[in-house]
Amino acid sequence: MATLTEAPPPLSPTAPEKKPPRGRGRLVPYWLLLPGILWLLVFFALPMIYQASTSVQTGSLEEGYKVTWHFATYWDALSEYYPQFLRSVLYAGSATILCLILGYPLAYLIAFRAGRWRNLIMILVIAPFFTSFLIRTLAWKTILADGGPVVGALNTLHVLDVTSWLGMTSGDRVLATPLAVVCGLTYNFLPFMVLPLYTSLERIDGRLHEAAGDLYAKPITTFRKVTFPLSMPGVVSGTLLTFIPAAGDYVNADLLGSTDTRMVGNVIQTQFLRILDYPTAAALSFILMAAILVMVTLYIRRSGTEDLV
């Protein structure tokens, strides 16, 4: 005998979900971006506009400066201080190459060979940031002092004779020479090269190296065909983070160099703080910024990493 089953109770209609008003939902991302936008406007855009107006002014500190659209200041500044511009590019480029040569093996060691020592080595790489930039540069002034162990060792190895012939040192001293400035730049900006390189190398799948070994690739071939191409984003980021601040640096050239090693940053500092020629200083700043922007754009396009911009 079949049993009668009770029919399930009718489903009660659920209340429709309340959706936020369209206008309010669309404005949420912009409200979140507002603090960053205000920060950029106050501390980046407005100073840039002020410097741009300063670069086309004429006058003096006593009489005051007025905007006269005197664009000849740019040409005068470039024609007078172009040696400092070339020197800045040369020193910054040399320091960037040295940072890459020293930083890539270190980043490779941390990513693939450090093991349980990885965190310790990373702390040692970042540790210089806990000390003032000025103090680190002054320490190099002591290290490279005349009669010190570094100069004595280089004299024993006759390294100073070669660098003197290349114009990097003068006689039997290192301090107040281009070599000292490049060494200071290399040391101070080396962490900016190591960290992006380590980040890119760490992301490489280790199975790719195993696959290359299974295909009888030698270690040098694996590095040339697999490791280095995959680490190119780190190479590009590291070189940019090193070259850009090094080109505008003036502390290393001021403390470790001499009047013959002045960079464009030293000229801008002198024009702003000593000579008080604000239009020339502002024009030099914009020329340096434009030159770096052009070089960086060409470099990124040449390396095929436009997605980094």
Per-residue pLDDT of the chain (309 residues; tens, 9 = 90+): 455 555 556 555 555 555 555 556 688 888 889 999 999 999 999 999 999 999 999 988 888 889 899 999 999 999 999 999 999 999 999 999 999 999 999 999 999 988 889 999 999 999 988 888 999 999 999 998 888 888 888 888 877 777 776 678 777 788 889 999 999 999 999 999 999 999 999 998 888 888 988 888 898 999 999 999 999 999 999 999 999 999 999 999 999 998 889 999 999 999 999 988 999 999 999 999 999 999 988 888 887 665 554
Residue 146: the pLDDT is 85
Measured N-to-C along each axis, helices 264-273 and 278-303 cross at an angle, to the nearest 10 degrees, of 150
Residue 42: the pLDDT is 93
Cα 213 from Cα 225, distance rounded (Å): 12
Radius of gyration of the chain (CA): 28
Residue 309: the pLDDT is 47
Cα 284 from Cα 48, distance rounded (Å): 13
User: Residue ranges of the alpha helices (H) in 56-132?
Assistant: 72-108, 118-126
Cα 192 from Cα 242, distance rounded (Å): 6
Where are the strands (E) in the chain, listed by range? Answer: 57-60, 64-67
Can you tell me whether residue 58 is helix, strand or coil? strand
CA–CA distances in Å: residue 167 to residues 85, 88, 155, 158, 277: 18, 16, 16, 15, 32
> Is the backbone of residue 115 left (phi > 0), alpha (psi -120 to 50) or beta?
left
Residue 306: the pLDDT is 56
Cα 33 from Cα 28, distance rounded (Å): 9
The answer to whether 284 and 264 have CB atoms below 8 angstroms apart is yes
Cα 45 from Cα 37, distance rounded (Å): 10
Residue 147: the pLDDT is 81
Can you tell me whether residue 173 is helix, strand or coil? strand
Q: Structure tokens of 193?
A: 């090269």
Q: Structure tokens of 98?
A: 């040295």
CATH number, domain 87-200+235-308 = 1.10.3720.10
Residue 304: the pLDDT is 66
The DSSP code for 13 is P
The answer to whether 250 and 269 have CB atoms below 8 angstroms apart is yes
SS3 content of the chain, % helix, strand, coil (to 5): 75, 5, 25
The model's pLDDT over 82-122, given as tens digits with 9 standing for 90+, comes to 999 999 999 999 999 999 999 999 999 999 988 889 999 99
Q: Quickly list DSSP for 145-172.
A: -TTSHHHHHHHHTTHHHHHHHTTSSBTT
* Length of the chain measured in residues: 309
Q: From the CB of residue 237, how many other CB atoms can be counted at a distance below 10 Å? A: 19
Cα 152 from Cα 147, distance rounded (Å): 6
The model's pLDDT over 124-166, given as tens digits with 9 standing for 90+, comes to 999 988 888 999 999 999 998 888 888 888 888 877 777 776 6
Q: Structure tokens of 155?
A: 């004299």
Cα 91 from Cα 261, distance rounded (Å): 9
Residue 1: the pLDDT is 46
